[in-house]
Copies of this chain bind each other. A is one copy, B any other.
Amino acid sequence: MSNVYYGEYLQLDKVLGAQRPESDLINKEAHDEMLFIIIHQAYELWFKQILHEAGSVMTIMNKPKINDNSPELQLVAHRLYRVVEILKLLVQQIDIIETMTPLDFLDFRDLLRPASGFQSMQFKILEAKLGLKSKDRFGKEYYVSQLKPHDRQQILDLDGEETLIDLINNWLTRMPFANQDKLWGESDQEGVHPFWAQYREVYVSSLSDAEMNNMETFDLLFFEDVEDPDRKLSMAARRSALFIMLYRGFPLLHLPYRILGHLLEIDEQMATWRYRHMNMVHRMIGKRVGTGGSTGKNYLKNAMDSHYIFTELAELTSFLTERSKLPRLPDEMSAHLGFGA
Protein backbone atom coordinates (compact mmCIF):
# COMPACT_ATOMS: atom_id res chain seq x y z
CA MET A 1 0.00 0.00 0.00
CA SER A 2 1.25 3.43 -0.74
CA ASN A 3 2.28 5.58 2.12
CA VAL A 4 -0.22 8.01 3.54
CA TYR A 5 0.86 11.31 5.02
CA TYR A 6 -1.25 13.27 7.47
CA GLY A 7 -1.41 16.59 5.65
CA GLU A 8 -2.11 14.98 2.29
CA TYR A 9 -4.57 12.44 3.66
CA LEU A 10 -6.59 15.30 5.16
CA GLN A 11 -6.07 17.51 2.08
CA LEU A 12 -5.05 20.35 4.34
CA ASP A 13 -3.97 22.40 1.34
CA LYS A 14 -7.68 22.68 0.53
CA VAL A 15 -9.10 22.91 4.03
CA LEU A 16 -6.55 25.44 5.30
CA GLY A 17 -6.48 27.30 2.00
CA ALA A 18 -10.18 28.15 2.05
CA GLN A 19 -10.12 31.21 4.31
CA ARG A 20 -10.23 34.49 2.43
CA PRO A 21 -11.66 37.33 4.51
CA GLU A 22 -13.45 40.05 2.54
CA SER A 23 -11.76 42.63 4.78
CA ASP A 24 -8.38 41.39 3.58
CA LEU A 25 -9.44 41.99 -0.01
CA ILE A 26 -9.96 45.68 0.65
CA ASN A 27 -7.12 45.98 3.16
CA LYS A 28 -9.45 46.73 6.02
CA GLU A 29 -8.59 45.68 9.53
CA ALA A 30 -11.23 43.24 10.85
CA HIS A 31 -9.47 40.64 12.94
CA ASP A 32 -12.65 38.74 13.85
CA GLU A 33 -13.69 37.98 10.27
CA MET A 34 -11.36 34.97 10.32
CA LEU A 35 -13.29 33.57 13.29
CA PHE A 36 -16.56 34.12 11.46
CA ILE A 37 -15.28 32.17 8.47
CA ILE A 38 -13.61 29.35 10.42
CA ILE A 39 -16.57 28.72 12.69
CA HIS A 40 -19.00 28.47 9.78
CA GLN A 41 -16.61 26.12 7.95
CA ALA A 42 -16.37 23.96 11.08
CA TYR A 43 -20.18 23.87 11.22
CA GLU A 44 -20.31 22.78 7.57
CA LEU A 45 -17.78 19.98 8.17
CA TRP A 46 -19.94 18.64 10.99
CA PHE A 47 -23.13 19.01 8.95
CA LYS A 48 -21.47 16.84 6.31
CA GLN A 49 -20.66 14.26 8.98
CA ILE A 50 -24.23 14.30 10.30
CA LEU A 51 -25.54 13.80 6.76
CA HIS A 52 -23.12 10.86 6.36
CA GLU A 53 -24.50 9.24 9.52
CA ALA A 54 -28.13 10.05 8.68
CA GLY A 55 -27.64 8.69 5.18
CA SER A 56 -26.37 5.34 6.44
CA VAL A 57 -29.22 5.16 8.97
CA MET A 58 -31.75 5.80 6.20
CA THR A 59 -30.16 3.15 4.01
CA ILE A 60 -30.70 0.57 6.73
CA MET A 61 -34.20 1.77 7.70
CA ASN A 62 -35.17 1.65 4.04
CA LYS A 63 -34.95 -2.14 3.95
CA PRO A 64 -38.35 -3.78 3.67
CA LYS A 65 -37.45 -5.93 6.63
CA ILE A 66 -34.60 -5.38 9.07
CA ASN A 67 -33.07 -8.55 10.49
CA ASP A 68 -33.19 -8.28 14.26
CA ASN A 69 -30.40 -10.85 14.46
CA SER A 70 -28.03 -8.68 12.47
CA PRO A 71 -26.09 -5.70 13.82
CA GLU A 72 -28.22 -3.31 11.78
CA LEU A 73 -30.45 -1.89 14.49
CA GLN A 74 -27.36 -1.51 16.69
CA LEU A 75 -25.75 0.53 13.94
CA VAL A 76 -28.86 2.69 13.59
CA ALA A 77 -28.99 3.37 17.35
CA HIS A 78 -25.25 3.98 17.54
CA ARG A 79 -25.13 6.38 14.61
CA LEU A 80 -28.17 8.35 15.78
CA TYR A 81 -26.45 8.62 19.17
CA ARG A 82 -23.36 9.94 17.42
CA VAL A 83 -25.51 12.57 15.66
CA VAL A 84 -26.83 13.67 19.08
CA GLU A 85 -23.27 14.00 20.41
CA ILE A 86 -22.21 16.05 17.39
CA LEU A 87 -25.23 18.34 17.76
CA LYS A 88 -24.30 18.91 21.42
CA LEU A 89 -20.84 20.02 20.26
CA LEU A 90 -22.40 22.34 17.68
CA VAL A 91 -24.50 23.96 20.43
CA GLN A 92 -21.37 24.48 22.51
CA GLN A 93 -19.58 25.95 19.49
CA ILE A 94 -21.91 28.92 19.81
CA ASP A 95 -19.94 29.86 22.94
CA ILE A 96 -17.02 30.57 20.60
CA ILE A 97 -18.91 32.91 18.27
CA GLU A 98 -20.13 34.70 21.39
CA THR A 99 -16.55 35.81 22.03
CA MET A 100 -17.11 38.16 19.10
CA THR A 101 -18.72 41.39 20.24
CA PRO A 102 -21.31 43.34 18.20
CA LEU A 103 -18.82 46.15 17.70
CA ASP A 104 -16.28 43.67 16.29
CA PHE A 105 -18.89 42.25 13.93
CA LEU A 106 -19.71 45.73 12.71
CA ASP A 107 -16.15 45.99 11.42
CA PHE A 108 -16.88 43.61 8.55
CA ARG A 109 -20.59 42.85 8.55
CA ASP A 110 -21.41 45.19 5.68
CA LEU A 111 -18.84 43.42 3.51
CA LEU A 112 -20.84 40.18 3.65
CA ARG A 113 -24.09 41.23 2.05
CA PRO A 114 -26.15 39.40 1.03
CA ALA A 115 -24.61 36.29 2.53
CA SER A 116 -26.21 35.29 5.76
CA GLY A 117 -25.56 32.96 8.61
CA PHE A 118 -28.56 30.82 7.91
CA GLN A 119 -28.15 29.98 4.28
CA SER A 120 -26.49 26.68 5.02
CA MET A 121 -27.65 24.28 2.35
CA GLN A 122 -26.49 21.28 4.30
CA PHE A 123 -28.56 22.28 7.34
CA LYS A 124 -31.67 22.67 5.19
CA ILE A 125 -30.95 19.36 3.47
CA LEU A 126 -30.60 17.72 6.86
CA GLU A 127 -33.93 19.12 8.04
CA ALA A 128 -35.52 17.97 4.80
CA LYS A 129 -34.05 14.47 4.96
CA LEU A 130 -35.18 14.08 8.55
CA GLY A 131 -38.72 14.95 7.52
CA LEU A 132 -39.34 18.67 7.17
CA LYS A 133 -41.41 19.55 4.12
CA SER A 134 -41.16 22.91 2.39
CA LYS A 135 -44.77 23.76 3.17
CA ASP A 136 -44.01 23.45 6.87
CA ARG A 137 -40.99 25.72 6.84
CA PHE A 138 -41.55 29.03 8.55
CA GLY A 139 -41.37 31.93 6.19
CA LYS A 140 -40.90 29.69 3.20
CA GLU A 141 -40.97 32.56 0.83
CA TYR A 142 -38.17 34.17 2.75
CA TYR A 143 -35.79 31.31 2.73
CA VAL A 144 -36.56 30.46 -0.82
CA SER A 145 -35.79 34.00 -1.89
CA GLN A 146 -32.44 33.82 -0.17
CA LEU A 147 -31.20 30.85 -2.16
CA LYS A 148 -29.99 30.71 -5.71
CA PRO A 149 -32.48 29.00 -8.03
CA HIS A 150 -30.37 25.85 -8.28
CA ASP A 151 -30.16 25.50 -4.51
CA ARG A 152 -33.82 26.38 -4.03
CA GLN A 153 -34.75 23.57 -6.38
CA GLN A 154 -32.55 21.08 -4.57
CA ILE A 155 -34.51 21.67 -1.35
CA LEU A 156 -37.85 21.53 -3.12
CA ASP A 157 -36.91 18.27 -4.81
CA LEU A 158 -36.41 16.68 -1.41
CA ASP A 159 -40.13 17.12 -0.80
CA GLY A 160 -40.70 14.22 -3.15
CA GLU A 161 -38.28 11.82 -1.46
CA GLU A 162 -38.87 9.50 1.41
CA THR A 163 -37.53 11.00 4.59
CA LEU A 164 -36.32 9.44 7.81
CA ILE A 165 -39.68 9.88 9.49
CA ASP A 166 -41.33 8.15 6.53
CA LEU A 167 -38.95 5.20 6.94
CA ILE A 168 -39.55 5.17 10.68
CA ASN A 169 -43.27 5.16 9.96
CA ASN A 170 -42.92 2.19 7.59
CA TRP A 171 -40.82 0.29 10.13
CA LEU A 172 -43.24 0.92 12.98
CA THR A 173 -46.30 0.24 10.84
CA ARG A 174 -45.17 -3.24 9.83
CA MET A 175 -44.51 -4.34 13.42
CA PRO A 176 -46.92 -6.95 14.86
CA PHE A 177 -47.97 -4.89 17.89
CA ALA A 178 -50.58 -2.62 16.40
CA ASN A 179 -53.02 -4.99 14.84
CA GLN A 180 -54.30 -8.51 15.11
CA ASP A 181 -51.43 -10.94 14.93
CA LYS A 182 -51.04 -14.53 15.99
CA LEU A 183 -48.63 -13.35 18.66
CA TRP A 184 -51.59 -11.92 20.50
CA GLY A 185 -53.26 -15.29 20.65
CA GLU A 186 -57.00 -15.62 20.28
CA SER A 187 -59.10 -12.52 20.46
CA ASP A 188 -61.86 -12.62 23.04
CA GLN A 189 -64.23 -10.50 21.08
CA GLU A 190 -64.71 -10.02 17.41
CA GLY A 191 -63.02 -6.84 16.18
CA VAL A 192 -61.71 -5.94 19.58
CA HIS A 193 -57.94 -5.92 19.84
CA PRO A 194 -56.90 -8.02 22.86
CA PHE A 195 -54.32 -5.50 23.93
CA TRP A 196 -55.41 -2.05 22.85
CA ALA A 197 -58.88 -2.28 24.31
CA GLN A 198 -57.34 -3.43 27.56
CA TYR A 199 -54.76 -0.67 27.53
CA ARG A 200 -57.45 1.92 26.95
CA GLU A 201 -59.09 0.77 30.18
CA VAL A 202 -55.83 0.95 32.08
CA TYR A 203 -55.07 4.43 30.75
CA VAL A 204 -58.51 5.86 31.45
CA SER A 205 -58.41 4.67 35.03
CA SER A 206 -55.05 6.39 35.56
CA LEU A 207 -56.36 9.84 34.70
CA SER A 208 -57.28 12.45 37.24
CA ASP A 209 -60.41 14.52 36.62
CA ALA A 210 -58.35 17.38 35.16
CA GLU A 211 -56.85 14.98 32.63
CA MET A 212 -60.03 13.35 31.30
CA ASN A 213 -59.76 15.58 28.24
CA ASN A 214 -56.85 13.41 27.13
CA MET A 215 -59.26 10.63 26.12
CA GLU A 216 -60.40 12.53 23.09
CA THR A 217 -56.85 12.67 21.77
CA PHE A 218 -56.15 9.12 22.89
CA ASP A 219 -59.04 7.75 20.83
CA LEU A 220 -58.10 9.93 17.88
CA LEU A 221 -54.52 8.73 17.89
CA PHE A 222 -55.01 5.04 18.70
CA PHE A 223 -58.46 4.16 17.45
CA GLU A 224 -59.07 6.30 14.40
CA ASP A 225 -57.29 4.95 11.38
CA VAL A 226 -57.72 7.88 9.04
CA GLU A 227 -55.34 9.61 6.69
CA ASP A 228 -54.28 12.97 7.99
CA PRO A 229 -52.17 15.08 5.61
CA ASP A 230 -50.59 16.88 8.56
CA ARG A 231 -49.48 13.65 10.18
CA LYS A 232 -46.69 11.38 9.06
CA LEU A 233 -47.28 8.41 11.36
CA SER A 234 -50.04 5.91 10.71
CA MET A 235 -52.26 4.73 13.55
CA ALA A 236 -50.44 1.43 13.50
CA ALA A 237 -47.12 3.23 13.77
CA ARG A 238 -48.34 5.22 16.77
CA ARG A 239 -49.56 2.05 18.42
CA SER A 240 -46.22 0.34 17.83
CA ALA A 241 -44.27 3.32 19.13
CA LEU A 242 -46.33 3.52 22.30
CA PHE A 243 -46.02 -0.25 22.77
CA ILE A 244 -42.23 0.03 22.47
CA MET A 245 -42.13 2.82 25.06
CA LEU A 246 -44.27 0.77 27.47
CA TYR A 247 -42.63 -2.63 27.07
CA ARG A 248 -39.06 -1.58 26.34
CA GLY A 249 -37.82 -3.90 29.11
CA PHE A 250 -38.23 -6.81 26.72
CA PRO A 251 -34.98 -7.52 24.78
CA LEU A 252 -36.46 -7.23 21.27
CA LEU A 253 -37.73 -3.74 22.06
CA HIS A 254 -34.54 -2.39 23.63
CA LEU A 255 -32.94 -1.10 20.45
CA PRO A 256 -36.21 0.21 18.95
CA TYR A 257 -36.73 2.09 22.21
CA ARG A 258 -33.26 3.63 22.07
CA ILE A 259 -33.79 4.59 18.43
CA LEU A 260 -37.03 6.45 19.21
CA GLY A 261 -35.25 8.18 22.10
CA HIS A 262 -32.38 9.36 19.93
CA LEU A 263 -34.81 10.79 17.34
CA LEU A 264 -36.38 12.90 20.09
CA GLU A 265 -32.92 13.97 21.29
CA ILE A 266 -32.02 15.02 17.75
CA ASP A 267 -35.14 17.21 17.57
CA GLU A 268 -34.30 18.73 20.93
CA GLN A 269 -30.65 19.43 20.14
CA MET A 270 -31.53 21.03 16.80
CA ALA A 271 -34.14 23.20 18.54
CA THR A 272 -31.59 24.16 21.21
CA TRP A 273 -29.14 25.07 18.45
CA ARG A 274 -31.71 27.26 16.69
CA TYR A 275 -32.55 28.87 20.04
CA ARG A 276 -28.94 29.65 20.96
CA HIS A 277 -28.27 30.80 17.40
CA MET A 278 -31.31 33.13 17.51
CA ASN A 279 -30.15 34.66 20.76
CA MET A 280 -26.68 35.16 19.39
CA VAL A 281 -27.91 36.80 16.20
CA HIS A 282 -30.17 39.08 18.19
CA ARG A 283 -27.33 40.02 20.50
CA MET A 284 -25.12 40.66 17.52
CA ILE A 285 -27.38 42.77 15.32
CA GLY A 286 -30.43 43.72 17.34
CA LYS A 287 -32.87 45.47 15.05
CA ARG A 288 -30.25 46.08 12.44
CA VAL A 289 -31.06 44.26 9.26
CA GLY A 290 -29.19 41.01 9.08
CA THR A 291 -26.65 40.45 6.36
CA GLY A 292 -29.27 38.24 4.72
CA GLY A 293 -31.64 41.18 4.46
CA SER A 294 -33.92 40.35 7.33
CA THR A 295 -34.12 40.72 11.06
CA GLY A 296 -32.92 37.20 11.63
CA LYS A 297 -34.33 36.69 15.07
CA ASN A 298 -37.95 36.50 14.03
CA TYR A 299 -37.27 33.81 11.48
CA LEU A 300 -35.31 31.63 13.86
CA LYS A 301 -37.82 32.09 16.67
CA ASN A 302 -40.60 30.65 14.61
CA ALA A 303 -38.38 28.05 13.02
CA MET A 304 -37.55 26.99 16.54
CA ASP A 305 -41.17 26.21 17.24
CA SER A 306 -42.26 24.78 13.93
CA HIS A 307 -39.28 22.83 12.67
CA TYR A 308 -39.64 19.93 15.10
CA ILE A 309 -39.80 16.74 13.07
CA PHE A 310 -40.65 13.94 15.49
CA THR A 311 -43.42 15.63 17.45
CA GLU A 312 -45.75 12.72 16.77
CA LEU A 313 -43.39 10.54 18.80
CA ALA A 314 -42.91 13.18 21.49
CA GLU A 315 -46.63 13.56 22.10
CA LEU A 316 -46.99 9.87 22.93
CA THR A 317 -45.52 10.55 26.34
CA SER A 318 -48.93 11.81 27.46
CA PHE A 319 -50.31 8.31 26.97
CA LEU A 320 -47.95 6.30 29.10
CA THR A 321 -49.13 4.56 32.23
CA GLU A 322 -47.35 3.42 35.33
CA ARG A 323 -45.40 0.21 34.77
CA SER A 324 -47.06 -1.71 37.58
CA LYS A 325 -50.45 -1.27 35.93
CA LEU A 326 -49.52 -2.45 32.45
CA PRO A 327 -51.37 -5.41 30.99
CA ARG A 328 -49.48 -8.68 31.16
CA LEU A 329 -48.57 -9.87 27.69
CA PRO A 330 -49.62 -13.27 26.36
CA ASP A 331 -46.93 -15.96 26.42
CA GLU A 332 -46.52 -16.04 22.64
CA MET A 333 -45.80 -12.31 22.58
CA SER A 334 -43.42 -12.48 25.56
CA ALA A 335 -41.52 -15.28 23.91
CA HIS A 336 -41.33 -13.36 20.65
CA LEU A 337 -39.94 -10.35 22.49
CA GLY A 338 -37.24 -12.32 24.27
CA PHE A 339 -34.32 -14.61 23.58
CA GLY A 340 -34.98 -18.28 22.74
CA ALA A 341 -35.41 -20.70 25.62
Binding site for B on A (CB under 8 A): 1, 3-7, 9-12, 14-20, 22, 31, 34-35, 37-42, 44-46, 48-49, 52, 56, 68-71, 74, 78, 81-82, 85-86, 89, 92-93, 95-96, 99, 101-103, 106-107, 110-116, 119-122, 148, 151, 208, 210-211, 214, 217, 245-246, 248-252, 254-255, 261, 264, 268, 271-272, 275-276, 279, 282-289, 293, 314-324, 334-336, 338-341
Contact = CB atoms under 8 A, between A and B. Distances in A.
A41 B45 contact: yes
A41 to B, nearest CB: 5
Contacts of A39: 49
A96 B103 contact: no
Nearest to A83: B99
A74 B249 contact: yes
Contacts of A319: 286
Contacts of A114: 3-5
20 contacts: A1-B113, A3-B113, A3-B114, A4-B114, A6-B115, A7-B151, A11-B18, A41-B45, A42-B46, A45-B45, A68-B338, A69-B338, A74-B248, A86-B96, A89-B96, A106-B322, A254-B255, A268-B283, A286-B315, A288-B317
Contact of A78 (B41, B99, B276): B99
A214 to B, nearest CB: 6
Contact of A251 (B31, B49, B251, B276): B251
Contact of A254 (B34, B74, B322): B74
A250 B69 contact: yes
B37 A251 contact: no
A251 to B, nearest CB: 6
Contact of A245 (B95, B103, B268): B103
Q: Which 5 A-B pairs have the closest CB atoms?
A: A286-B318, A71-B249, A340-B340, A69-B338, A286-B317
A339 B255 contact: no
A268 to B, nearest CB: 6
A15 to B, nearest CB: 5
B48 A19 contact: yes
A9 B317 contact: no
B78 A89 contact: no
A243 to B, nearest CB: 12
